[in-house]
Amino acid sequence: MFYYKIHKSRGKTLLAICDSDLLGKKFEEGKLALHVSRDFYGGQEIGNDVVDIFPKADIINIAGSKIVSLALKGKWVSKEGIIKIRRIPHAQIFSL
């Protein structure tokens, strides 16, 4: 399961998605930090059909091994576009 939230600003749509077990946690490694905050990610809970929402977003922010795996499988992101903070994968996807 995942949590997702849609943010709209200046005519753009940002989709924030995280693995449900990461919601509310913070990860730090060196100068990098990932805060999987309830305000940013914690909208609605959803299953694997979350990828059906991807085409509706201009920017997608994903955190967690399960959602990153789905994004890789769907070719929404490449391995080179993923960073890990304390072994938690994170990626941002931008439509051009």
Q: How many domains does the chain have?
A: 1
Range of the domain at 80: 2-94
User: Can you tell me the mean pLDDT for 18-29?
Assistant: 98
25-65 pLDDT, tens digit per residue, is 999 999 999 999 999 999 999 999 999 999 999 999 999 99
Taking the C-alpha atoms of residue 23 and residue 2, their distance in angstroms, rounded to an integer, is 9
| pTM for this model (two decimals) | 0.94
Mean pLDDT of the chain: 96
The CATH number that applies at residue 35 is 3.30.1860.10
Q: Give the pLDDT band (50/70/90) at residue 95.
A: confident
